[in-house]
Each structure stands twice: as structure tokens, then as C-alpha cells.
A and B are shown apart, each in its own frame.
Chain A
Amino acid sequence: NAGVTQTPKFRVLKTGQSMTLLCAQDMNHEYMYWYRQDPGMGLRLIHYSVGEGTTAKGEVPDGYNVSRLKKQNFLLGLESAAPSQTSVYFCAIYSGALTDTQYFGPGTRLTVL
């Protein structure tokens, strides 16, 4: 996974609860991304960051917030979880122009009851 870690690996929430997913990289990459994976829909971009202190909306940002206070960490927050947010969440980093590739973390499986 090219040094991309995600915590937790699994989580079960009740509707209305909040939580934060952590993505950490042990390299020095600028670009980081949060995707969600749902059956038959591939991966969809939630939010992304192009550097410390910056965030931007992706394709499906509603219901999520993000922060990039430190370059190594990209946090994804759910303020009030809904069953529609049951999904597998993946963090990714962009390796830079030399290899021009995204590397993904192992994923977090979230169930909202």
C-alpha cells in the first residue's frame, strides 16, 4: 500500500453518531484523496487535498467533512452518520509526476445502522 494506512479497519455506527477516519502516509506526498466504494458503482471521490491546510470537494461530498492540518494526515469526518453512508472508504495518495500513480490504503469498512 506504499505507506498509506487507515484507521480504523472496521466500524459500526448508529444513525446520528459521528466519527472520524484517519489516513496517514509515511512519505511526503502533497495530494491525498478520500473515496467510497459501493457495489456496482466503482470508487467515487468524496474530498481531496492538494497540500497541508487545503481541502476541496469531490464528486460526492455531502455529509462529509475533511481536514489536512498536517501533511501526513488526511481526516474524513461524518458528523451525523446515515445508513446511506454504509460503504468501504479508501484513502489514496498521488505519487507525483515521476510515477504518476495513485496508491491506496487498505480501506475502512463502515456500517451505519
Chain B
Amino acid sequence: AQSVAQPEDQVNVAEGNPLTVKCTYSVSGNPYLFWYVQYPNRGLQFLLKYITGDNLVKGSYGFEAEFNKSQTSFHLKKPSALVSDSALYFCAVPRRGGYNKLIFGAGTRLAVHP
């Protein structure tokens, strides 16, 4: 069965430091992987996706994610964190059976401190 796991409930980082939010996956076949962000009292916003090609995927707001097939990981990264990056981040993978139904991880809360 398709699944994603986000091993950290919360990540704390100082403003200006690099950040990493972790995601591991278990899929059959070629993985499609997504990252979404949720700001307080808002809906989810698409950040980036991996379908095929380069292992480093660039997305919105300066975020990027590194696909690692051998480690079955798709970690979200940013070279220099901003306080405004503080939000809830979700990794997701499509459910088998088509129609682009997504399975989400439990979410990781990122707190960036001034």
C-alpha cells in the first residue's frame, strides 16, 4: 500500500539557518511525491512535486526537496529559514486506483524563531 511518514511532529530552527523537514515513502512503482504547506487558519497550498527527472526539485517560496530513491526519502529543504515559514507541512503521495486521490503524512510543524 502507498504511504508516507513524517517522523518529526515539530522542527525548530533559528531564522537564517537552513531547515529540513523529513518525509519517507513506501510506494509500488515510480513514486509521485508532493509537499504542501498550511499556514494558520488557511487551506493547504501546493509547494512542489516530484514526478521524474532531477532528484532536486525546486518549488515555491524558496523551498526545494531532494528525492532519494535508495533511502526512500523526499525531504523538504530551504537554505535560509524565515519566521514567515512557520507553518504545518505535509508530504503526500497518490493513492493507488487513480483519480489523483492523495494520502497525506501526519504533518510536521515548523517553528522558525527570530
Count B interface residues, CB 8 Å: 21
Q: Which of B37-45, B70-78, B79-87 contacts A (4 or more CB under 8 A)?
A: B37-45
* Complex contact A40–B106 (CB within 8 A): yes
B8 in the interface, Cβ–Cβ < 8 Å?
no
Chain B residues engaging chain A, CB cutoff 8 angstroms: 9, 34, 36, 41-46, 49, 51, 90, 95, 99-102, 104-107
* Complex contact B49–A43 (CB within 8 A): no
CA distance A33 to B92 in the complex (A): 15
* Complex contact B51–A100 (CB within 8 A): yes
CA distance A94 to B104 in the complex (A): 15
* Complex contact B101–A104 (CB within 8 A): no
How many residue pairs between the two chains, A and B, have CB atoms under 8 Å in the bound complex? 53
* Complex contact B105–A31 (CB within 8 A): no
Chain A residues engaging chain B, CB cutoff 8 angstroms: 1, 4, 31, 33, 40-45, 48, 50, 56, 58, 90, 92, 94, 100-107
CA distance A22 to B22 in the complex (A): 34
Q: Which of B9, B41, B100, B104 contacts A43 (CB 8 A)?
A: B104
Of the A-B pairs whose beta carbons lie under 8 Å apart in the complex, a sample of 22, sorted by A's number, is A1-B43, A31-B100, A41-B106, A43-B44, A43-B90, A43-B102, A44-B104, A48-B99, A56-B99, A90-B44, A100-B49, A100-B51, A102-B44, A102-B46, A102-B102, A103-B46, A104-B36, A104-B43, A104-B44, A105-B43, A107-B42, A107-B43
* Complex contact A31–B9 (CB within 8 A): no
* Complex contact B43–A42 (CB within 8 A): no
**Nearest chain B CB to A35's CB is how many angstroms away?**
8
If A1-B43, A40-B9, A43-B44 touch, whether A102 touches B100 (CB-CB below 8 Å) is yes
* Complex contact A50–B99 (CB within 8 A): yes
The list of the 5 closest CB pairs from A to B, nearest first, reads: A42-B104, A104-B43, A104-B44, A43-B104, A94-B100
Contacts of A101 in B (CB 8 A): 34, 46, 49
Given contacts A44-B104, A100-B49, list 17 more A-B pairs with CB under 8 A. A1-B43, A31-B100, A41-B106, A42-B90, A43-B90, A45-B101, A45-B102, A50-B99, A58-B101, A94-B100, A102-B46, A103-B46, A104-B45, A105-B43, A107-B41, A107-B42, A107-B43
